Amino acid sequence: MYLPRSLISKLYVHLQNTRHPLSPPVLILVALEPDALCACRILTRLFKHDYIPHKIQPVAGYADLERVGRELVAPMMEKRGGAGGVVVCLGVGGMVDLGSVLGLEPEGEENTFSKVEVWLVDSHRPWNLSNVFGGFPLEPQTDDASTYASRSPAGVKGGCIDRAYHPGKGGIVVFDDGDIEEELGKERDAYLALVDMPDIEDDGEDLGDSDDDAYSDNDDAGVAASLPRPSQKRKSWDLYDAEDDSEDDGRPRQRRRSNSSTPITDSPRRPAQRGLISLRDEAIFSSDALEPPTAAQPPKVPSARTLRRRLLRLRRENESVLRDYYQLGASYSEPISSMMYSLASELGREDNDLLWWAIVGVTSMELYGRSSAGIAVPVRSSEPRPASGWLGLRGARIRQLLRDEVRRLNPPEVANGRALPENTGIIPTTARSPEDTSIRLSPEPKFLLIRHWSLYDSMLHSPYLFSRLKTWSETGLKRLHKLLAKMGVSLVQCKQSYTHMDMMLKRELRTKLLKYASLYNLDELVPTMDTDGKDRGGAKDGWGFVRSWGWRATLSAQDVGVVIGALLEVGKNAPTSPDGPGPVTPSQQQPINLDGDPQQHESPSDEWLPRFWEAYDALEDIESLKAGLPTAQFLHKAIFTTGTTLLKKKQISHLRAFRMCVVKDSPHSALFNHPGALTKLALWIGEALAEQEKDATGGKLAQGGRGTPLVVASLDEKRGVYVVVGTGGGGGPDTAFLNREAAKKKAKEKEQREERRRAREKIREEKRAARRERKAERGDADDDEGEEEEEDDEEESSDESEDGEGDGSDDEDDDEAHERGFGLNRFGTAFQEVVAETNARVRIDSFEHCVVEVKKEDLGGFLESLSMKAVVG
């Protein structure tokens, strides 16, 4: 069941009113990513304010999530001796059947959840629909309450929680950021129809385009023989799972789930079986099952075979709706840190700390390429667009709301009764006073860690400049030096610490970058200004965020996001020398031996658990955050060095569906055994390839505006596996949001056409009535009727040409970018298809379904089969 955005504080207020210091602690499951850490910081601050006991448990992947469910969540159930309670999932479990994974819906048991309530906040898409429209304990079955809807808890309608809902019985509550109510209406109807639909065996017969009513009732005996009797077991109707149903006893169906389970294998769970239902009774599931009786003939009852075929057709249609949704591809919606800040805002708890964590979480999503097209390189088309960059229009609105919050919570300084002017273009590097902890807007250029590096190093290690200036080559480095020379900055000046650069150079830096950026294809390097010198009427589009901690430090939100990510991926004890071999980073999954069984090694939690707490502490402790700066610099030097080597030596192969490269001989290869670091490297290389592709095609992107997908693999010699990540080509800015906006616009235009049509029809009727009155008065002959009909036909054809009807404009959308699923990352689906078709030993355990582990010997066959799949929607 899902909680609408308008009721986001409902469950928290109930928790606040019912919890006391002796209550069982709220269990918080947190993914190992910066956005989830920031959301956890916001939520725990709210819990501490309200004296709600809580416990934080980091979760690395699905295997770890299942272990946590078995050891920590399931014992909370009342039937197992627990006292119930609340579990909050931040960034984990949104794409799988969470009730089964956590052990809250044991297979074959009627009493589910047992007063354990799970709050699910996740930005991964697609949703698992069992969590969204199901995930609650059913009320007892009675004669009046036998359907799924009638057995839903009070206050839950169609899976949606309303104000009448009373928490306490348990269940899975999905926090809706607005997408469920606005986009999943079709999927909701299909899911609810399938849940109440009776099970009949589907042998794959061809049903044709229409019902075959030619069968006589003599066929009923043969069909009835295949019907389930009360003592018989019904065959599983799961779309993909071929499980043994010997334990089926009529209770809500559950699935056995492996660690590699994904939403595409999920089907709605069923309510308790209602006993034998004849096919004639099941005709209610088809809207045209029975024809209305007429006076001429008695009502005709279709045969059992006809009803069965109609039911099968209806079930297949609904299953196709769910299957199409799951196969759209991976994408991301609103960051969960932004959702948690919305909760704090509803409760009236906003302050600078919570706002800063929300800003860092949102910024980290951009750094990891997590957009509405999945993990993908942002496509920057030369054509004008409403907005560009992360999440497009939706991202622009989120950033604007954050800028408004910064202005509200950090009013400008006042001197002599006047407000001092805001930042006019200088990058702030120091606080205003020793006690200054405010958040400010800053015209941040697309450089990396500029306050903590030299200007030259910051520009050299910027992924934006890496791709556009092609700094992996000697020509690109000369181009960078030429840009600095045009700006009047010597190499001696730009290679010293930025904070110690000449003040005049720092004051003029933005102006000079704006002047020369267009000469080097760097139009988005710094936020632009209007001709009057003001930034879009004070909106400051594209401006970043900076916070000071007195004289101790001043960092941007991007700086913090980079450091937190590096602490999670590398750890603070990484060597600071770029020439060092780097720390060995074991992956977060169990290794696989030649026989496919897990090898017994030291638990990976010994490595990733300390990193989680290091990053968690650094979000609030500025000294710990500063201590992580060398780690971030080391990681990005390794990314630059490795990316340069791969491009220089042309080690990138172009396969049928994607390009691919393997990291195995680099001195830093051990760093990229972590999926997060490998994803960053893939995005660096992918953006460079996208620019090369644009140059080769005259500034136009191939594949209808999408870049070329990329697969990057890193060899983990210690465990004998390859960590593989697939980044999509991108579908432009916020494809899903544009889909919704286009659908709204199209529906509005259609409604307007209907109103105009009704108005014209009314006018025509009035004209016809007037002509008939004139005919009656004049006594005209019937020969005039043909002339009047011709006039009506001419009017109708003229109206249709004005509305653009008859040319298919209502049914076809010419803009390919508005197609649902356009450009989405489909590597997760493609990986599963390859596993099903080959004998490759593959482990899918990451919450990012575009990340897998492949046995070293199986990589070749795995990639060969993968190259035949559609990896971008």
> How would DSSP label each residue in 329-395?
-BEE-S-HHHHHHHHHHHTT---HHHHHHHHHHHHHHHHTTEEBTEEBPPP--SS--S--STTHHHH
CB 264 within 8 A of CB 323: yes
Statement to judge: residues 149 and 290 lie in one domain = no
Statement to judge: residues 112 and 238 lie in one domain = no
Task: Tell me, yes or no, whether 65 lies in a domain.
Answer: yes
End-to-end CA, the chain: 28
Statement to judge: residues 185 and 316 lie in one domain = no
Q: Domain end: 295, 326, 357, which one?
A: 326
CB 118 within 8 A of CB 129: no
Tell me the percentage of the chain whose pLDDT exceeds 90: 39
Q: Domain end: 311, 326, 341, which one?
A: 326
pLDDT of residue 799: 56
Task: Tell me, yes or no, whether 105 lies in a domain.
Answer: yes
Per-residue pLDDT of 378-437, as tens digits, reads 665 444 444 445 677 788 889 999 999 999 999 877 656 565 556 567 888 888 889 889
Domain count of the fold of the chain: 3
Statement to judge: residues 44 and 121 lie in one domain = yes
Q: Domain end: 326, 358, 373, which one?
A: 326
- Comparing 808 with 92, the larger pLDDT belongs to 92
Statement to judge: residues 275 and 167 lie in one domain = no
pLDDT of residue 557: 95
Rounded distance, CA 689 to CA 683, Å?
10
Looking at residues 723-736, what average pLDDT do you find? 70
Per-residue pLDDT of 245-285, as tens digits, reads 333 333 333 333 334 444 434 456 554 433 333 333 433 33
Task: Tell me, yes or no, whether 358 lies in a domain.
Answer: no
The CATH number assigned to the domain holding 158 equals 3.40.50
pLDDT of residue 740: 57
Looking at residues 724-739, what average pLDDT do you find? 65
pTM across the whole model? 0.80
Statement to judge: residues 171 and 264 lie in one domain = no
pLDDT of residue 855: 93
Q: What radius of gyration do the chain's Cα atoms show? A: 31
Looking at residues 598-626, what average pLDDT do you find? 76
Report whether pLDDT(60) > 70: yes
Statement to judge: residues 123 and 232 lie in one domain = no
pLDDT of residue 323: 92
Task: Tell me, yes or no, whether 693 lies in a domain.
Answer: no
Task: Tell me, yes or no, whether 710 lies in a domain.
Answer: no
Statement to judge: residues 185 and 94 lie in one domain = yes
pLDDT of residue 275: 35
- 29 pLDDT band, cuts 50/70/90, is very high
pLDDT of residue 359: 96
Statement to judge: residues 40 and 138 lie in one domain = yes
Statement to judge: residues 33 and 145 lie in one domain = yes
Task: Tell me, yes or no, whether 97 lies in a domain.
Answer: yes
Statement to judge: residues 153 and 61 lie in one domain = yes
The boundaries of the domain holding residue 138 are: 2-189
CB 448 within 8 A of CB 565: no
Task: Tell me, yes or no, whether 740 lies in a domain.
Answer: yes
pLDDT of residue 701: 52
Task: Return the number of other C-beta atoms located less than 10 Å from residue 198's C-beta.
Answer: 20
Statement to judge: residues 33 and 171 lie in one domain = yes
Task: Return the number of other C-beta atoms located less than 10 Å from residue 347's C-beta.
Answer: 16
